[in-house]
Amino acid sequence: MVGIILSCYTIAALVVRPMAGFILDIFKRRPIYLLGYLLFVLTFVGYPLVNLVGLFLLLRILHGFTFGLVTTAGNSLVVDIMPASRRGEGLGYFGIANNLAMAIGPMISLFMYDYYSFDIIFYTAIASGFLGFFVAFQIKSDKVPDRTEKQPIAFDRFFLIKGLSSGFCLLLLGIPYGMLTTYVALYGKELGIHSGMGIFFSLMAIGLIGSRFFAGRMVDRGKIIKVISYGTLICAISFFMLAGLKNAENNNNYTLIVGLFYGIAIITGIGYGMVFPAYNTLFVNLAPNNRRATASSTYLTSWDIGIGLGLVLGGRIADSTGGLQVAYLSGALIVTVSLAFFVRIAGPYFEKNKLR
């Protein structure tokens, strides 16, 4: 039942993204962003109140819808207010904010869980959300999406067709990432590391954040293909190393295994920190100005589908093989396929069809 409830949140977000991109390309993005943000925060109010599983499931679906809307709108709004010459760098900083939130939020909630009730945790989330809404309200953007011609409602109004090949590469990158974030604590136990998972994710966040500073600038210099290629290669190496730790376990050198385990966290963070802003900019550069939100929706949808597949495949592979080593080795091979497909197909296609 918990699995169903958690998956409904992700599915709802995936369903709403294409429609959100379509709407954001027609109307002013700031009001839609603020409305989505407010609804997202108000959804938290329901958690301390619901007392039936059915109502909780409905609340999670609603929360997923609002999350899909506000993240797509936020990503599109950032592109609108960012100078084109510094878009890659700006998206990198925007990504840093997301990484910090995803690192700090769970840390605070797990700490509070030891001392306070769930209601207090939800009230804190509500307060944090309203503070964020107040800050978001200060954003100045009256940009109206370009509407040079009236277009019929078709599939390419909801999904950036020109981004299909790059979306496929990003989807493949998301599969091992989903495996990592979900199952790395269990893998740590297989290696004999029974504590310190918070350190792993903190080091991974450091890698993610650190790489954004130079990767964004490289993207702004027109080196999108190189940044994605090098970042994907680093990701592949990190997953091969992660899978190899199980073999290193036979040497009975616990200190070495722990050191490599945490080192891999930094390397993985650097790799993904490079590809995130580069892929985001790539999708935007493939789309005309009146399709920016659709480009953002396609970028986020591709990544979310990859994460979802990683959640399922990681568990299935581990169950059928008796451990997570094969799952992470499979992830390394999937990233290698992503790199090869990008270098041979998606990258050249981007160079030929980019608009800016």
In our burial notation (b when 16+ CB lie closer than 10 A, e otherwise), range 248-265 reads ebeeeeeeebbebbbebb
Give per-residue pLDDT as tens, 262-305: 999 999 999 998 998 899 889 988 888 777 788 888 888 898 88
Q: When comparing pLDDT for 200 and 167, which is higher?
A: 167
pLDDT value of residue 142? 65
- For 175-202, the three-class secondary structure string (H helix, E strand, C coil) is HHHHHHHHHHHHHHHHCCCCCCHHHHHH
Give per-residue pLDDT as tens, 154-165: 555 677 888 899
pLDDT value of residue 148? 46
CB 18 within 8 A of CB 67: no
pLDDT value of residue 242? 93
∠ Cα 34 40 44 (to 5°): 140
Model's pTM, two decimal places? Answer: 0.80
Q: What Cα–Cα distance (Å) separates residue 35 from each residue in 32, 69, 74, 303, 344? A: 5, 9, 11, 24, 42
Residue 137 reports pLDDT greater than 60: yes
